[in-house]
Amino acid sequence: MQQTENLNIEAFELLPTPEEIHARLPLSEAAAQTVVEGRRTLERILDRKDPRLFVVVGPCSIHDPVAGLDYARRLKALADEVADTLFLVMRVYFEKPRTSTGWKGYINDPRMDDSFHIEEGLQAARRFLLQVNELGVPAATEALDPIAPQYLGDLIAWTAIGARTSESQTHREMSSGLSTPVGFKNGTDGSMDTGINAILSAASPHSFLGLNNQGRSAVVRTRGNAYGHLVLRGGGDRPNYDTVSVAMAELALAKAKLPKNIVVDCSHANSFKKPELQPLVLKDCVNQLASGNGSIVGVMIESFLEAGNQPIPSDLSTLRYGCSVTDACLDWATTETAIREARKALQAVLPQRN
């Protein structure tokens, strides 16, 4: 008989199961405490039982674990300093959705040479998350591949579903079973309906094909995720963090009978992908909060040790330390200043709004 399947498949390479990767790099007590406390704090903020603003801040993507841990240590010190007003969560993104082609992230291609040593990437990503959490820094990530959470999900406190995938049924169903609060971004065209429909979908139970910890195909049956919320990231060549856009988002959430929980992504279309504009977006959100806004519960900032970004060179030894290889980021000094200024402006305001 003629072959009718796998015609464009070159090879199947077996991976260790999630259970095997967990056994090689087990969750430590210190890391577990950071994860649990991080999730509970975020849930309290979303439930209006904690008046603080949460801030998801960190590199656009992780490509160098040494520089990433350097950033995490600095962030821990800053988090402790501003903890009375702001709750800082480190952005730890290992998977990068590409518009067409490009580096797909640390899990898929940890050596950054198109060799795609995914087993190596999964273990390195898990090791990095363990180290970050053991420092006492909760981690946030974007869930892109529906299998990866089985390997890493026990080390994540907050999850984003990106603008390209908020409309995906696969990602909505996956989110219904995630153990973290989930922020759904508006569509790349700026449409809020995409994110709101995703929140509604993820709040419901689902049954779908997936993978269990033993690596077996399984029917995954979920309870639904009660902590979905909307992330405004701009789109359609315009920002949507201004007071009018936020008010429209509040109306849309109310119409859908959802809590008015809004996170503003200071990057992407909200800053026209110009990292130096992110502090201005943050300042605008702070001004809205100071003026009585009750719906903005969090913000996101893309930040690394050095400003800007760099292409991936053929000679990786020439990479600039602490500089993004994907979207351009704020440098650490500017990040520190922006967060301290936000804390100063909100210190007396946030305790009153709940």
**Residue-wise pLDDT tens digits, 137-157:** 999 999 999 999 999 999 999
Q: Which residues pair with 265 in a beta bridge?
A: 300
- Fill in the amino acid letter for 25: L
With the CA atoms of 134, 307, 148 and 34 taken in that order, what torsion angle do they form, in degrees rounded to the nearest 10?
A: 20
Q: What is the pLDDT of residue 100?
A: 61
Domain layout of the chain by residue ranges: 54-353
Which sign, positive or negative, has the C-alpha torsion 267, 270, 271, 277? negative
Does the reported pTM lie above 0.75? yes
**Helices (H), ranges, the chain:** 18-24, 29-46, 65-82, 118-134, 148-152, 169-177, 192-202, 243-255, 278-290, 332-346, 350-353
Separation of alpha carbons 168 and 195, rounded Å:
10
Backbone angles phi, psi at 263, to 5 degrees: -110, 135
- Any idea what DSSP says for residue 97? -
**Residue-wise pLDDT tens digits, 228-255:** 999 999 999 899 999 999 999 999 999 9
Which fold would CATH assign to domain 54-353?
A: TIM Barrel (3.20.20)
Residue spans of the chain under pLDDT 70: 98-100, 354
Q: Which residues contact 269 (CB under 8 A, 6 or more apart)?
A: 190, 233, 234, 235, 236, 237, 238, 239, 240
**Residue-wise pLDDT tens digits, 50-93:** 999 999 999 999 999 999 999 999 999 999 999 999 999 999 99
Q: What is the pLDDT of residue 353?
A: 80
